[in-house]
Structure 1
Amino acid sequence: MITRTLGFQKRKAVSGNSLELEQNQNSPRATVDSTWVPSNEKIQQILQLRALALAQELPAQEGRNEDIEIVEFILGCERYALESCYVTQVAEVEDITPLPCTPGFIRGIVTLRGEILPVIDLKKFFEVPEKELRGRNKVIVLQAGKMTFGILVDEVLGARSILAIDIQSSLPTPMGIRKKYFKGITSERLVVLDAENLLMDESIVVDEQVAE
């Protein structure tokens, strides 16, 4: 509430000691007392602005609280994960055919569902300590756009969901993993990798003629 001040002067009455107040109309502070109340139109405008500001804040909060579907696996002695939206299949294969003239982290090629795919050894790519594989080779096939390849892992633990807000990207990257392939670590020490950046890395691209 805004109250405007009125200006007055005191003067002695003609008789007695009583005082009376006389409004000084010439005073620059002399105004009319009033109370400001916003119009209905102004109230609606304020409410609309508040609703708009709230609507802009909600998507960011919801994005951090949403569930992310992941495929969890083991490399060496650590647990890792990739977003399920980039995983097309998980397979066990007996043999991986070596490829000549390729980087050391290219394990070779496999044929899955009639398609020839290169297989990346993530332990060599990330310089993770080697662990002897037992049984068949476990391959997780990743795809984004036209890019498809498999990654060789020690063990596939399965698929589940985690909260996006639980992925802490500010923590130091684990040894051997470059920053661009690292999305973060959860409170349970699960290392979440960036599948999209892996798939977009030109150093992993295998010449189709070599693969064939």
Structure 2
Amino acid sequence: MAEDIVNNATEMLSFRLGGEEYALSILKVQEIRGYDAVTRIASAPEYLKGVVNLRGIIVPIVDMRIKFKVGEPTYDAFTVVIVLNIGGHTIGMVVDSVSDVVTLTPDQIKPAPDMGASVATEFLQGLGTVGERMLILLDIDKLLGSEEMGLLAASRAAA
């Protein structure tokens, strides 16, 4: 997927977490929904809010605001869940708000800077610029598929 971004123009869904604007490939997005109550799972990490039943599919809901430590999350009319399809698995991602769909060309994308061991950049595809906006481009497959998150491994084991 990183090659797709470098070699071609690509459409990205931009969204806000705290004061920052992030983006991910629109091809991973199944739908965007308002935030609804979730069923909590005992002993789950704090960022895993729980699960919801989405038309007969049990979907884990991850609050990226908690995962990325970007302030105290509030749940209001603007809070949305981006429902993603990652490797055949459906996962919901809570964000502050969805901004828009942007098309980025290769010249608008710069590599993520190396910020040392204190900042995990392995989940970043780079930084995109649209006018005065700076978008942090997430490699959502790597992030949600990471061993640390444990989401895809857990759903594979249950299958």
TM-score by length of 2: 0.79
> 5+ unaligned residues in a row in structure 1: which ranges?
1-59
Deviations 1:53-103 (A, max 9, x none): xxxxxxx9x974621111111101111101111111111132122211111
2:111 alignment counterpart: 169
3-state SS of the aligned residue for 1:85? helix
Give the number of aligned pairs: 147
Whole-angstrom CA distance in 2 between matches of 1:69 and 1:95:
30
Match of 1:190 among 135, 143, 148: 135
Residues 1:73 and 2:15 are matched in the alignment: yes
Whole-angstrom CA distance in 1 between matches of 2:101 and 2:92:
17
3-state SS of the aligned residue for 2:27? helix
Change (3 A) 1:193 1:77: same
Partner amino acid, structure 2, of 1:197: K
3-state SS of the aligned residue for 1:190? strand
Larger RCO (CA within 8 A; separation ≥ 6) = 2
1:200 alignment counterpart: 145
Alpha carbons 1:94, 1:137 under 8 Å: kept: no
Alpha carbons 1:143, 1:199 under 8 Å: kept: no
3-state SS of the aligned residue for 2:122? helix
Residues 1:139 and 2:81 are matched in the alignment: yes
- Please, what is the CA RMSD of the aligned residues? 2.6
1:24-63 alignment runs, 5 A limit? none
Whole-angstrom CA distance in 1 between matches of 2:119 and 2:94:
16
3-state SS of the aligned residue for 1:179? coil
Residues 1:87 and 2:15 are matched in the alignment: no
Percent identical among aligned pairs is 29
> 5+ unaligned residues in a row in structure 2: which ranges?
none
**Larger gyration radius, structure 1 or structure 2:** 1
Partner amino acid, structure 2, of 1:106: L
1:24 alignment counterpart: none
Larger helix fraction of residues: 1
Alpha carbons 1:148, 1:199 under 8 Å: kept: no
